[in-house]
Structure 1
């Protein structure tokens, strides 16, 4: 399901903390981004509970938004410092913003946040379609792990040294 994402990088990408009250809009962004890869409605319904930006993450400063200079939301990431050593819990980009650098900006920000907390590694349970992007940004595959949602489906388990 590879897709072309060659777009011009955007120099105007800005990062900011997610704000209380944005949970629903940012969670919807996660679903739009996941659906970009052509998953059917049944798949999307099954994974939706796992693709939520939470109020707790926002309050704790663990959810970050990438936006353009004019305030258009381009993507979101959420970290879980207590998860698997230090996890990149979510990283999703609006489909029309894929390839613009928003994902890399969020990825680097998540690394910096986890490193500032004293964690030596960032872990990622990746969608198979996103693995190449993570590898390109410096992650390495450690192993394949069973999906919590679909019996028989395996997902790449990645790590990034901080």
Structure 2
């Protein structure tokens, strides 16, 4: 296993991984089609935020995107390929995320969580602090979570 900084050449792979990971939870085709644009990772995302990928046997199996501006930090993406769910990849990447946040001087960050991912984030120590409106479906509420970065 190796974690490295994402490059602009990774955008299509990361976008598809995001889509597969979201679809894993059994969402309808209509729902997934509506989410496709939101799940897209762009070259700008990679150049303006902290995006890291986990490679196993030279294949990207997970990634995260941490957005940090001034004093505000948000975990914008955190996805594990369905073939890697349950293999410890998420926990491994989470620990790298926390180390990245420490290096940047981040004390806490927000997570707009998918309802199915809330349990994972809770296991990693994040807490639910409220709800936020979905950017895709206005009537859908998502868990708003916060993770503290311990030094």
TM-score between the two structures when normalised by the length of structure 2 = 0.90
Distance (Å, rounded) in 2 between the aligned partners of 1:113 and 1:52: 23
CA contact (8 A) 1:84 1:123 kept: no
Structure 1 segments (4+ residues) deviating >6 Å: none
1:21 matched residue in structure 2? 9
Change (3 A) 1:151 1:55: same
Question: Aligned to 1:42, what secondary structure does the other structure show?
Answer: helix
Change (3 A) 1:90 1:83: farther
CA contact (8 A) 1:65 1:74 kept: yes
Question: RMSD of the TM alignment (CA)?
Answer: 1.7
Change (3 A) 1:152 1:61: closer
CA deviations on 1:76-98 (whole Å, 9 max, x unpaired) are: 11111129821111011110100
Distance (Å, rounded) in 2 between the aligned partners of 1:83 and 1:64: 20
1:113 matched residue in structure 2? 100
Displacement, 1:132? 0.2
2:146 matched residue in structure 1? 159
Aligned runs of 1:70-109 on 2, under 5 Å?
70-82=57-69, 85-109=72-96
Distance (Å, rounded) in 2 between the aligned partners of 1:57 and 1:147: 20
From 122, 131, 137, the counterpart of 2:118: 131
Question: Aligned to 1:79, what secondary structure does the other structure show?
Answer: strand
Aligned runs of 1:27-106 on 2, under 5 Å?
27-60=15-48, 62-68=50-56, 70-82=57-69, 85-106=72-93
Structure showing the higher helix proportion among its residues: 2
TM-score between the two structures when normalised by the length of structure 1 = 0.85
CA contact (8 A) 1:65 1:75 kept: yes
CA contact (8 A) 1:111 1:122 kept: no
Displacement, 1:56? 2.4
Structure showing the higher strand proportion among its residues: 2
